[in-house]
Amino acid sequence: MRDFQKPGRSAVFATNGICATSHPLAAKVAIDVLQSGGNAADAALAGAVLLGLCEPQMTGIGGDCFVLVKPAGTEAVIALNGSGRAPMGLHATDMRARDLTSIPVGGIESVTIPGAIDAFCALNARYGRTPLSDLLVPAIHYADEGVPVAPRVASDWADDVDHLKGAARDFYLLDGRAPTPGQIFRAPGQAHVLREIAAKGRAGFYEGAVADDMVASLRALGGTHTLDDFAATACSWGDPIKGHYRGQDLIEHAPNGQGATAILMLNILSHFDFAALDPFGAPRAHLEAEAAKLAYDARNRFLADPDHTTRLAHMLSPATASALAALIDPARAMAAAAPLTEAIHKDTIYITVMDRDRMAVSLIYSVFWGFGSGFASSKFGINFQNRGAGFTLTPGHPNEAAGGKRPMHTIIPAMLAQNGRIVMPFGVMGGAYQPCGHARLVTNMRDFGMDVQTAIDAPRSFADAGGMMVERGYGADVRTALAAVGHDVQTPAVALGGAQAIVMHDTGVLQAGSDPRKDGCAIGY
């Protein structure tokens, strides 16, 4: 139990339904949907769309999503891939001929077709209990009336101002500046788009006036995007992938997400006795860093569009993890994995909901960079993602950029199962950090016995190409010890990620935690 004389927050307990996400308005809307008779799929969808207005620098209707769904009455988990493809006119050879070595994060080449709206429509059609038109009402309301900008959102917005270009500056700045906490952000153009989707379903977005606005805007910026690219957008249903860690199963979305990286990290860490370590000491942080370097190197070699990923079984194999674990020196840091692309971003949004029938939804939704590509459509202000920056331009690489192909994604929803029963839908936002965040949350709870909120609150570290990022929650002694074994210790400019999770106890009681690094909360009823 936490010390109630120190800063912190309690986990939230409920029995009928619960939501954890990064903005209070979205959490409240999700609970409103549950209380009005909707299920977890309905609630997650309504909350996610609203998050695109509450946190527009992180996500929006111009982005992608991945979803894991555990329907009521079963422990089987279904995966929904809502990631869009590159326009058919994109060619790696053309970019290499221009002496590009990677896809510019702020270039028109980085803009892939938005996949989230198609996936939201499919999620509602297969699992929804409430009409899509009703679920979009809260987001339409807030798009018209406005959302007071939250403190963390305002901080991120200010960091991303210089990334906005052209029409996007008109739609996403107030008097030419980022909004401050409490200022009202409105998006009437997006309200119109959401009304079109409410009336016409996916056709309201991928066809007609909305698609015309997106395609005309992209082509005016030099893009090769066509109406056919938008009309052809289609999400896909499939099976998740699974790894085993100390009596629990980690369920992740299959590629083109990077969930396999989290599974490989935990497989590597299973070779070390964490129970003997201080959870907030340097040896634990060092082992985690080394496992991350090895797992991320495998990610960079193997993960891509599912039609091009051929070494997934090798990456998930316990034998692979065993061989990699043997490379770790407990007393010396190895070099960081080379980055796959220059595209390293801070955050995204994540929402998880569980309802009274114990349907569980784990949903992640993003435009990748802060405000995506920095471009927006000229009429409705749809902010375009830059997911194409997740491609590589290396010839023959499975993740080589090509028209009609999906790039490797950083966003990953997850669930934990024990003895065949789903016990925790969760996600840890934070771009490249996410697999490391999944591993840390699982080990915090499994190895060190932390409750879900304590496990989320705990300080984080992350070794990437820029050095060993160590949050201020760690003491100076830990920093000194990490530097002594060869880590380039730095304090991250922004807190590492933001986690949301729901635990279902054997008693049937639901417990949820929400990350104080974000503006959100968990709400139950």
Q: Is 521 helix (H, G, I), strand (E, B) or coil?
A: strand
Q: How many other C-beta atoms can be found within 10 angstroms of the C-beta atom of residue 203?
A: 15
Q: E strands, 394-509, where?
A: 414-418, 421-429, 461-464, 467-470, 489-490, 498-504
Residue of 112, 341, 348, 454 with catalytic role: 348
Facing residues of 392 across strands? 400
Question: Helices marked H in 201-340 — which ranges?
Answer: 203-206, 208-220, 227-231, 259-269, 282-302, 312-316, 318-325
Question: Helices marked H in 150-222 — which ranges?
Answer: 151-160, 167-172, 188-200, 203-206, 208-220
C-beta separation of 492 from 469 below 8 A = yes
What's the CA gap between 524 and 420, in Å, rounded?
25
For the chain, the residue count is: 525
Q: Is 137 exposed, middle or buried (0-12, 13-18, 19+ CB in 10 A)?
A: middle
Helix or strand run (H / E) with residue 32: helix 24-35
- Residue 101 a catalytic site member: no
Nearest 5°: the CA angle 324, 327, 332 is: 135
Q: Taking Cα atoms as reference points, which of 300, 368, 307, 375 lies closest to residue 340?
A: 300
Residue that is written with structure tokens 């969760």 in the block: 426
Residues with catalytic annotation? 348
